Structure 1
């Protein structure tokens, strides 16, 4: 194993699997860890797809540590990720959620590494001007049977819901009727136009325009790279993550085989969006409402001192 590649113990992986409510297969395995290892051996891609779905449905994408805490910081240390996401059952933004997913996959024997992505202006502003932000996103590349796949569990409501092969034009359903695909293009600001990156795109329906979301290469990023990115995203005063609180989790169909929608907390509303139809579940009047809603809809429970941490911030509901 290369340097700087931490793993979790079998006990920790089993706890993670229980955290995401991962369903055991009908097999002769005696333990959950034996079961998952059998599944990885027999169907690595299918098992990866299942793990991605269940993670998205149970681990909310959010930035609570920057608002509901006394320290307003985010740690990417493997032990901190495990305590927060598995033991405390809280949320995480991209470098937390995808970070723990990377360690779990590596612990299960997957050949997988992390790379950095640039989020598009179109994603942030809704206007596609062809430009992208600095590196501020983590995503994974898994190698299975000699083929490479983009894997992401930390991109909020536009997150890929299944592994996407690194094949230009590879298209799949994201959350019906929306679709997702990968293409290769140069960036408008590149001097050398022969340089091309993978661009993750989505569209609301098969008739709609494709919207660029993330630009990334196949170069591996190291933990020290993400420490720099994490500091910028979580501490820069102009960072959107420091200004507003948001929480998103995916919704599965009753069989657990398809992502059919999302539950979203943003601003003063909790919404559920199922296959393109949006329903407002609750309007939040104050912090008490939001804290209770986080427990009700996202199974996130904060301590008194953590709730007090949002007082005086621009994100506080008054």
Structure 2
């Protein structure tokens, strides 16, 4: 299918042919939706009957609230890939729900966005999932070197009587979106990221084999931006088997992404009032990043708060700082793997 819409159609924030996303029944029950809302501490109380009756207020504001609450509740992490016997990341709807909501642990993009998509549909949002190619070149560079389709994203039309479409993503880790971004390449379509003053925008570009690609770009400083592409995506819809296959490739196939080569843990926290004042009340989160060291970032300031000398220290940090429940005996499963601290070369997350 070739792209036919004019530039004005791109800027206005709809899918390329003006499509309306159809409502789809969630793979989660109303009971599981309620459990998730409780887990992320969504303030308003709804009953299962309320959810089943469509009484949840589906709108852009609530979409933003749900996104932020999800981000600060569940860490972005791949510890199951390295500290379990089968080195497997279960990103099925059942497995991801168990990992996040029941066990209060985390996952990477496929687990995070699988849960978020199912919950949005369960609440009445019109949404579908896509796949993206991540740029392996670090930020602050104009170069691109794309992975295969190894990242899950979500498209949402949050306004009941509109086909305005937003990109949503709760599973990118470091430079994560903190709010929905309109599917538009307008120059004014810029949003703050999860670690302000970082920000995001969407631009159009082309993969050599496609004319439908969008780019999510990031800058470390929204006031003095230097933009770099974080991932490229089309508007094509993908489904659970596609995500399961892509996740298996990410976790098991050498050379696809950084996840096989590092233990990645990113945890967001709501900032204190004082910290928020420092960056002119634009900030919503701080973050901690763990690999072979634990870093705390508030705004553009980052400091190392702990150097991890062995696996026992890393497991203890995962439990005490990131609230990820890894048993000390699990250290045996990472022995001989590239991310083991005895062999490790630190990988940059952001």
Same fold, judged at TM 0.5 (above) = yes
| SS across alignment from 1:315 | coil
CA–CA separation in structure 1 for the residues paired with 2:23 and 2:168: 22
- Contact 2:92/2:111 (8 A) holds in 1: no
- Give the corresponding residue for 2:192: 173
- 1:252 aligns to what? 270
Q: Are 2:307 and 1:295 aligned?
A: no
State the 1:181 CA deviation. Answer: 0.6
Q: Which residue of 2 aligns with 1:198?
A: 214
Could you report, residue by residue, the CA deviation over 1:217-251 in whole angstroms, capped at 9, with x for unpaired residues?
Answer: 11111122112211211110223211211100222
Task: Give the 3 Å change call, closer, same or farther, for CA 182–141 of structure 1 in structure 2.
Answer: same
In structure 1, the partner of 2:169 is 152
1:142 to 156, 166, 178: 156
Matched-pair contact (CA < 8 Å) for 1:116–1:136: yes
Unaligned runs of 5+ in 1: none
| CA pair 286-8 structure 1, distance change in 2 beyond 3 A | same
Distance 1:226 1:3, change over 3 A: farther
CA contact (8 A) 1:13 1:33 kept: no
2:35 is the counterpart of 1:15: yes
Taking structure 1 as reference, are residues 112 and 313 closer, same or farther at Cα in structure 2, changes over 3 Å only? same
CA distance in 2, matches of 1:63, 1:200: 23
Partner of 2:279: none
Q: Does 2:103 match 1:88? A: yes
1: CA distance, partners of 2:140 / 2:198 = 16
1:24 touches 1:35 (CA, 8 Å); kept in 2? no
Higher strand share: 1
Counting matched residue pairs gives 307
Question: Normalising by the residue count of structure 1, what TM-score does the alignment of the two structures yield?
Answer: 0.87
Q: CA deviation at 1:261?
A: 2.0
CA drift of 1:116 comes to 0.4
Q: CA RMSD in A?
A: 2.8
In the alignment, does 2:141 pair up with 1:117? no
TM-superposed deviation, 1:2: 8.8
1:282 aligns with 2:306: yes
- Residue 348 of structure 2 aligns with which residue? none
- Distance between the aligned counterparts of 1:24 and 1:109, measured in 2? 18
1:35 Cα shift?
A: 8.6
Give, in angstroms, the shift of residue 33 of structure 1. Answer: 7.9
Q: Is the 8 A contact 1:166 1:182 kept in 2?
A: yes
SS at match of 1:52: helix
Q: Which runs of 5+ in 2 are unaligned?
A: 1-20, 277-281, 343-350
Can you list the C-alpha shifts for 1:14-58, whole angstroms capped at 9, x where unaligned? Answer: 2222322x2313xxx5648849988842x5211111111111112
Q: How does 1:200-219 map to 2 (within 5 A)?
A: 200-205=216-221, 206-219=223-236
Inter-partner Cα distance in structure 2 for 1:199 and 1:48: 22
Q: Deviation per CA, 1:43-88: give whole Å up to 9, x if none.
A: 5211111111111112111111110111101222211111111112
Of the candidates 166, 179, 201, which is equivalent to residue 162 of structure 1? Answer: 179
